[in-house]
């Protein structure tokens, strides 16, 4: 069956809108090239959005939670939300901070905002935003120069292991480094590592006591060498914002509106940083999908997304379920995978509804062994390319990186170009940097460059310049580094052709400026080659044709996934792989590893009931989270006599005993000098501490995230009678008042708490 033309960008209609809302009735967006002009007004920003996406774009105040299924246009919705707010004059661009998890995603967001005319908005990763703040405030908060940031910590871990006389092989060293990273993002100190790892069910590479010893030595080594790692960037930024209220206020005065993409992937440490950025405000929009939580090994948890409505009762919740990426056949398989899932994330799954025309059914194929599977996949890809499918529209996805080599060789044997996902970023490649220098020089001195004598237009000028860097009209034979360099240069040649077509009369200087902007946004051109990628690195991407290979027991789910939670994450990983396909999906597995081996393998249990001949299909079970739509927050529906109290405007804090102006954060929480006498109710203070410990254990977060010691002391000293008195205590805030207020007031009145926070 021939492949259909490539679908429009995710979130845009794939065909003319039918006459009812049942199939989307999405207003057709104007045709856009690779270099579209910005909309001419705020209202024009909203054109082409479906009803739910428009709800997201126009919900500019208060907490907003967007539950967005795969392929439903979440990035489109949130970038149009920011752009609409900016273009309408509601959101000052410099007051908006959009954060996500990868440089690629942040770059894509910046590129889209630029195309929508919303320049000036900060779109960064958590680490990038924190590092920028830490570098700026370090002299004021700490003094002197900030320690050097190490790019890779694995050598430091190796040195720490040597100091502890712990011998690690290469794999153990990598895994030990991952354990240290997990510990830091979950705010686990070395002394608590063994217990925390056991509680989380982690497979430790060595005895937990040895990992704890190694972790402690690693931290000591960093201090001795005056260096910090990427996790320290977040930890130190959190510490500065917690300890220095003046700096926290300065950051909050700069950023008043926050957008968090991929919110299901936030770690406890990132969530704490976000809370400190927010303060007592609620101008926050989060976007995520619990069914795409696949990075728990790094500390990511969907709990913050799933608990958002509990923490923010006034939140507007918008569910995006119209899938613009995949055909109904692919969507049906994806829904079937999740229909068999269990656990909390599964209870909040979204039932996708395809907006695409019908396509071919997914294909399921077994092979006698792994080399045969790779050879068959390569031949089919060769045939697809010969039939006119672009190589860049095809991907081979596998569970582990070790599977890559077999497919690299198989594709090279049939002459199919490929690129490895997760390798060096496009604009960081040496050949791309050299090409940029050559193009910049030609743009400046082109009149005197003999290479350009016969070049009559921009594409021919670029071809002429890059021919001196190794580009040729025909690709080199074979694979390897030579072919990869050629593919990079060919991507620049293709980009020049698209640029010239979109902007007739553009000069070489204009193209160089465009490349500079793309490099800053990490908005790379498409490399014309089949993509080879692990399922984890394929997150956020899509292709016309996807080959999911090695889908056998022991690989998906992976052998070491033993607990129910680990098995369910493996199911979600396969779901992510399935939803990468726009048009055609091929799923395969090998019955043995090597030629002539015993055919003892079976296809993944996740395919039971979904592939032909494996029993009844997986019917979707009804869930509260299945349908799309909008849910308004409690504050929008509240009809009671008075709203919850708001934090009063700040005035200089004075000691309630001696009247002195207070400057220290701890003193301001107590509303008295440290040396002034305290009238604290000791019994109440102990009850509050016991209650706090219970709340922290239930929520899986440090005790200070519930209330700090100083805040508990202030409560025990003032013994508030009602919400208003409790809200006046520094460190309580509106969100904590909503969540914990009833319990705290009950304890102050001598009663047992009702456990209201448990219902969150």
- Binding-site residue numbers for ATP are 68-75
At 107 the three-state DSSP class reads: helix
Element (H, E) at 431: helix 430-445
Strand-pair category, 418-420 with 394-398: unpaired
Query: How far apart, in Å, are the Cα atoms of 75 and each of 97, 169, 203, 421, 614?
Result: 15, 41, 35, 21, 37
Cβ atoms of 356 and 389 closer than 8 Å = no
DSSP 432-470: HHHHHHHHHHHHHHGGG-GGGTT--SHHHHHHHHHHTTT
d(CA 234, CA 273): 7
C-alpha dihedral (84, 89, 94, 97), degrees to nearest 10: -40
Strand partners for 605: none
DSSP structure class, residue 702:
-
d(CA 54, CA 41): 15
Sheet holding 122-125, edge to edge: 122-125, 96-100, 257-260, 284-288, 64-68, 316-320, 629-631
Long-range own/partner contacts, residues 675-678 (CB < 8 A, 24 or more apart): 678/713, 678/717
At 397 the three-state DSSP class reads: strand
Strand-pair category, 284-288 with 64-68: parallel
Q: Which residues are annotated as a binding site?
A: 68-75
Strand partners for 401: none
d(CA 502, CA 33): 7
Query: How far apart, in Å, are the Cα atoms of 568 and each of 382, 558, 635, 657?
Result: 35, 11, 35, 57
DSSP 329-341: HHHHHHHHHHHT-
Strand partners for 101: none
Residue in 417, 677, 386, 615 with CA at minimum distance from that of residue 528: 417
d(CA 420, CA 530): 9
Q: Let me know the angle formed at the C-alpha of 723 by 717 and 724, rounded to the nearest 5 degrees.
A: 80
Residue in 593, 556, 587 with CA at minimum distance from that of residue 370: 593
What lies within 8 Å, CB to CB, of 485 at 6+ separation is: 429, 431, 470
Residue in 448, 452, 384 with CA at minimum distance from that of residue 416: 384
H and E: helices and strands count for the chain: 29, 17
Element (H, E) at 394: strand 394-398
Question: In Å, how far from its chain's centre is CA 414?
Answer: 36
Residue in 679, 560, 555 with CA at minimum distance from that of residue 606: 555
Cβ atoms of 27 and 342 closer than 8 Å = no
Phi-psi domain of 415 (left: phi exceeds 0; alpha: psi -120 through 50; beta: other): left
């Amino acid at each position: 069956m021939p492949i259909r033309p490539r679908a429009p960008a995710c979130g845009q209609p794939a065909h003319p809108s039918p006459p009812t809302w049942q199939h989307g009735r999405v207003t057709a967006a104007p045709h856009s090239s690779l270099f579209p002009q910005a909309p001419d007004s705020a209202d024009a920003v909203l054109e082409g959005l479906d009803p739910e996406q428009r709800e997201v774009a126009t919900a500019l105040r208060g907490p907003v939670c967007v539950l967005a299924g795969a392929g439903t246009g979440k990035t489109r919705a949130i970038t149009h939300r920011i752009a609409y707010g900016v273009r309408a004059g509601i959101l000052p661009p410099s007051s908006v901070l959009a954060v996500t998890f990868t440089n690629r995603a942040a770059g894509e967001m910046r590129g889209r905002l630029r195309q929508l005319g919303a320049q000036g908005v900060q779109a960064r990763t958590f680490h990038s935003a924190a590092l920028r703040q830490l570098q700026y405030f370090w002299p004021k908060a700490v003094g002197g120069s900030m320690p050097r940031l190490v790019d890779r910590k694995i050598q430091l871990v190796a040195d720490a292991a040597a100091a502890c006389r712990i011998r690690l092989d290469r794999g153990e060293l990598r895994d030990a480094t991952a354990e240290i990273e997990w510990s830091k993002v979950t705010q686990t100190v070395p002394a608590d590592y063994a217990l925390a790892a056991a509680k989380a069910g982690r497979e430790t590479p060595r005895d937990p006591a040895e990992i704890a010893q190694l972790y402690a030595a690693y931290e000591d080594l960093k201090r001795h060498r005056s260096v910090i790692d990427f996790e320290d960037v977040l930890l130190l930024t959190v510490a500065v914002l917690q300890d220095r209220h003046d700096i926290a206020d300065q950051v909050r005065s700069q950023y008043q509106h926050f957008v968090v993409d991929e919110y299901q992937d936030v770690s406890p440490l990132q969530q704490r940083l976000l809370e400190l950025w927010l303060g007592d405000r609620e101008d926050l929009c989060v976007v995520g999908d619990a069914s795409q939580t696949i990075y728990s090994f790094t500390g990511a948890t969907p709990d913050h997304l799933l608990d958002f409505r509990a923490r923010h009762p006034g939140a507007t919740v918008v569910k995006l379920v119209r899938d613009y990426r995949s055909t109904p056949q692919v969507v049906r398989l994806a829904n079937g995978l999740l229909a068999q899932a269990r656990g909390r994330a599964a209870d909040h799954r979204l039932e996708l509804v395809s907006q695409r025309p019908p396509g071919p059914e997914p294909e399921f194929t077994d092979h006698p062994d792994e080399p045969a599977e790779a050879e068959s996949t390569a031949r089919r890809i060769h045939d697809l390319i010969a039939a006119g499918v672009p190589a860049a529209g095809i991907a081979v996805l596998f569970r582990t990186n070790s599977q890559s080599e077999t497919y690299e060789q198989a594709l090279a044997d049939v002459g199919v170009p490929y690129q490895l996902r997760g390798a060096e970023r496009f604009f960081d490649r040496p050949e791309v940097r050299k090409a940029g220098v050559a193009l910049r020089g030609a743009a400046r001195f082109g009149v005197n460059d003999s290479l350009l004598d016969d070049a009559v237009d921009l594409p021919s000028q670029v071809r002429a310049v890059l021919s001196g860097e190794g580009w040729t009209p025909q690709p080199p034979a074979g694979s390897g580094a030579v072919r990869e360099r050629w593919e990079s240069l060919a991507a620049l040649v293709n980009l020049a052709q698209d640029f010239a077509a979109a902007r007739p009369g553009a000069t070489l200087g204009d193209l160089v400026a465009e490349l500079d902007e793309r490099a800053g946004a990490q908005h790379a051109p498409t490399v014309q080659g089949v993509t080879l990628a692990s399922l984890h690195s394929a997150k956020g991407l899509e292709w016309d044709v996807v080959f999911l290979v090695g889908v056998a027991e022991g690989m998906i789910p992976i052998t070491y996934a033993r607990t129910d939670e680990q098995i369910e994450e493996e199911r979600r990983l396969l779901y992510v792989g399935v939803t990468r396909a726009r048009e055609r999906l091929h799923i395969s597995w090998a019955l043995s590893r090597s030629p002539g081996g015993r055919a003892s393998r079976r296809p993944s249990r996740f395919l039971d009931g979904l592939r032909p001949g494996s029993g009844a299909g997986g019917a979707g079970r009804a869930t509260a989270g299945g349908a799309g739509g909008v849910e308004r927050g409690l504050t929008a529906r509240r009809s009671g006599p008075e709203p919850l109290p708001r934090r009063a405007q700040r005035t200089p804090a004075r000691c309630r005993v001696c009247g002195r102006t207070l400057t220290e954060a701890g003193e301001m929480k107590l509303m008295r000098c440290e040396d002034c006498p305290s009238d604290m109710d000791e019994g109440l203070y102990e009850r509050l501490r016991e209650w706090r410990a219970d709340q922290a254990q239930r929520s899986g977060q440090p005790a200070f995230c519930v209330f700090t010691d100083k805040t508990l002391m202030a409560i025990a000293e003032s013994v508030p009678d009602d919400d208003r008195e409790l809200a006046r205590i520094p460190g309580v805030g509106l969100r904590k008042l909503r969540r914990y207020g009833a319990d705290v007031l009950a304890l102050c009145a001598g009663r047992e708490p009702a456990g209201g926070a448990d219902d969150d």
